[in-house]
Amino acid sequence: MRSGRRTYTSAFFLREALMGTPRPVAIIMGSQSDWATMRHAAATLDEFGIGHEALIVSAHRTPERLFAFAKGAKAAGFKVIIAGAGGAAHLPGMTAALTSLPVFGVPVESKALSGEDSLLSIVQMPAGIPVGTLAIGRAGAVNAALLAAAVLALSDPPLAAQLEAWRARQSEGVAERPVDGP
């Protein structure tokens, strides 16, 4: 099947993984409109130098692309999948149903219900198919990336040290007292 200039098949993802630099994290999202949120996951992974690929994969509008991606993700070399979606947000759950890779779901803030619909769609998985569900919006996207980093750090001591340093810098950056100002 074709979309834009790319062909989305399991073989495509496998070929890309074998030919390119390792990209342990896939950031998938249901729509271009989700990128404003999901780009924060990408930016956070960039802070750690963690390779990632961002793809639009809709459970509703491109179900065959979803099947091809999820079934080929492990063979393609991905270790963690971050899936962001809004509204009737089936993407993280369907992805988790099709791969045993860890899936972290980011509820995108919807216009109609402020993301509560997204959150409930993603978090209420039946026992047996887990999706690690994060907060609505930017915080969830950032934290999904940090969780992905923590998973990868379990088998990557330099990355574990980076993560510890990042948290230490964060702590040091918090002032002891609030100040007036804009």
Based on CB atoms, which residue is closest to ligand RP5, 4 or 49? 4
Interaction site with ligand RP5 (CB under 6 A): 30-31, 33-34, 58, 60, 85-87, 108
For residues 41 and 98, the answer to whether their CB atoms sit within 8 Å is: no
Based on CB atoms, which residue is closest to ligand RP5, 132 or 137? 137
For residues 92 and 118, the answer to whether their CB atoms sit within 8 Å is: no
Feature table: binding site for substrate: 31, 34, 61
Query: Cα separations (Å) of 158 from 48, 50, 57, 148, 166?
Result: 10, 12, 32, 15, 12
Based on CB atoms, which residue is closest to ligand RP5, 123 or 160? 123
Q: Least distance to ligand RP5 from the beta carbon of 108, Å?
A: 4
Feature table: binding site: 31, 34, 61
Of 98, 103, 31, the residue nearest 61 (C-alpha) = 31
For residues 25 and 82, the answer to whether their CB atoms sit within 8 Å is: yes
Q: Least distance to ligand RP5 from the beta carbon of 91, Å?
A: 6
Specify the DSSP element, H or E, that contains 62: none
Based on CB atoms, which residue is closest to ligand RP5, 144 or 152? 144
Q: Least distance to ligand RP5 from the beta carbon of 85, Å?
A: 4
Return left, alpha or beta for 117; rule: phi > 0 is left, psi -120 to 50 is alpha, else beta: alpha
Q: Least distance to ligand RP5 from the beta carbon of 19, Å?
A: 29
